[in-house]
Amino acid sequence: MNVFDYLFDSTQNRDKDFVVGSNETISFKKLYENSISVASYLKNTIGENQNVILISPNSVFFITAYLGILKSGNICVPLNFDIEQGNLDYVSKFTYCDTVFIAASLQRKVKFEKAISCINEKELSQIIEVQKQETFNTDCKKHSLAEILFTSGSTGFPKGVMISHQNIISNTDSIKEILKLTSKDRISVVLPFYYCYGLSLLHTHLKVGASMVLNNSFMFIGSFINNLKTYNCTGFSGVPSHFQILLKKSQSFKQTEFPDLRYVTQAGGKLHAVFIEEFVETFPKTEFYVMYGQTEATARLSILPPEFLKLKTSSIGKGIPGVDLKIVDEQGVVVGINEEGELLASGENVMLGYFREELNSKNTLKDGWLHTGDIAKMDKDGFYYLVARKKEIIKVGGKRVSPKEIEEVILTIPEIMDCTISGVDDDLLGEGIHATVVLKNNVDKSHMEEKILQKCSEKLALYKIPQKIIFEASMKISASGKKVKR
């Protein structure tokens, strides 16, 4: 089935608003009709199986174009709206793209070759107004390509993760089940839709007939808090930096009651236990779900439900429905309980491969298993724990050190808002450990280095103590909300 038909199978005639908010709204019925018009236009102008770039902040424009592209049988390539011209040139040529949907506010900042057709909000409205709606076949091959999501690559060039219609359907079914989503839910969205985590929110809430409040200015925390309350949001999903900012930079957030906030989800990196504990203590009636995934898995791979937060602190939980996990050593042999190895995953949500990268695809997908590149271990109860990314492991004098372990210790100091541990070249040890620390507002850093070293010496082996501590004024955050390592 085409994922468009799957998402709208019970909501296409609903007059209820899917997008809610002060800036723009649209009902399920109107969104369905407008998307069909866009799909009809694309079918008549470019046909099928063409790559179509989409560049826009979260908006009704983005959602309509995205759904229209999927329904038309073409492939959507959503890109970061802060993309550099060089990367845009690379992706547009690499994907052989001739059609681009782009927000007018961004159209002035980037350039395309004259042969590329650009469609902004005004032109989209004209298409919807005049386009005769075509009839579409709802059949779709299981491995038909739906979208290419670009993520950072080890070569410096972005990798195009190929996601099929079935990948999206499988992951959406699993997520809506484990989060118990219904048409009564309403989520505050701060994650961009070009990011797999953000797209998963769009898919799940569209599927169950729930609503979304779009917030593209999370750093204006007052506006975010107001939206949560004003629109009676039942859910919020964020990456670690979102929760750190809310808990450490905003007193008003912790002092505000959110009676409708049923749950929150956290993914996109490790949120250290100290922040999870603080959130749960502040909002005991809100369910906190820890989730883990990758773009290569459409979005999610595992979940730790709220009832296990205290019992299995720092765990990423178990595989979501339809996903199998295992840990293997360098020879591919499954390791024992509490032994470290690479985390592998399989399921219908795992990507088709990397676009035009056959060798990279073969190295990542082997015998039906996705090699995540994450080092993990499993306890006797079957719960998984991430140790580090393979490429993040620091080797000090031959000893393996996980940055996350040191970060956990330093972040227990109340004055510290954020900490990033990195490895640097060291002539004697091979690699040395540097800590980059962000203090809470108005904290005097004069004695903080001594305090950090004291805490580390109490909790860590000598070789894990940072040789250098660097203080920064603020966290560096990417457009997706993820922390950028210096």
How do the pLDDT tens digits run along the chain, 486 residues long? 999 999 999 999 999 999 999 889 999 999 999 999 999 999 999 999 999 999 999 999 999 999 999 999 999 999 999 888 888 999 999 999 999 999 999 998 899 887 899 999 999 999 999 999 988 876 788 789 999 999 875 455 789 999 999 999 999 999 999 999 999 999 999 999 999 999 999 999 999 999 999 999 888 899 999 999 999 999 999 998 899 889 988 789 999 999 999 999 999 888 889 999 999 999 999 999 999 999 999 999 999 999 999 999 899 999 999 999 999 999 999 999 999 999 999 999 999 999 999 999 999 999 999 999 999 999 999 999 998 776 777 878 667 788 888 998 999 999 999 999 988 887 667 788 999 999 988 888 889 999 999 999 998 888 899 999 999 988 787 777 777 765
Token pair recorded at residue 426: 């060291």
Separation between Cα atoms, residue 160 and residue 157, nearest integer Å: 10
Separation between Cα atoms, residue 98 and residue 469, nearest integer Å: 49
**In terms of C-beta density within 10 A (0-12 exposed, 13-18 middle, 19 or more buried), how is residue 113 classed?**
exposed
Domain 172-390 adopts which CATH fold? Rossmann fold (3.40.50)
Report residue 445 CA to chain centroid gap: 33
Token pair recorded at residue 244: 């750190």
Let me know if the fold of 3-140 is the same as that of 172-390: yes
Residue ranges of domains in the chain: 3-140, 172-390, 393-472
CATH number of this structure's domain 393-472: 3.30.300.30
Separation between Cα atoms, residue 201 and residue 187, nearest integer Å: 8
Domain 3-140 adopts which CATH fold? Rossmann fold (3.40.50)
Could you read off the pLDDT of 366-390 as tens digits, one per residue? 999 999 999 999 999 999 999 877 6
The Cα-based distances of 453 to 406, 425, 450, 467, 469 in angstroms read: 11, 21, 5, 9, 9
The answer for 282, left when phi > 0, alpha when psi is -120 to 50, beta otherwise, is: alpha
Tally of residues, the chain? 486
Beta bridge partners of 118: 100
**CB-based contact 90:64 (threshold 8 Å):** no
End-to-end CA distance of the chain: 44
Helix or strand (DSSP H, E) at 105 = helix 104-107
| DSSP alpha helix (H) spans, 25-94 | 28-45, 60-71, 85-94
Could you read off the pLDDT of 44-58 as tens digits, one per residue? 999 999 999 999 999
Beta bridge partners of 216: none
Report residue 217 CA to chain centroid gap: 17
DSSP class of residue 134 equals: P
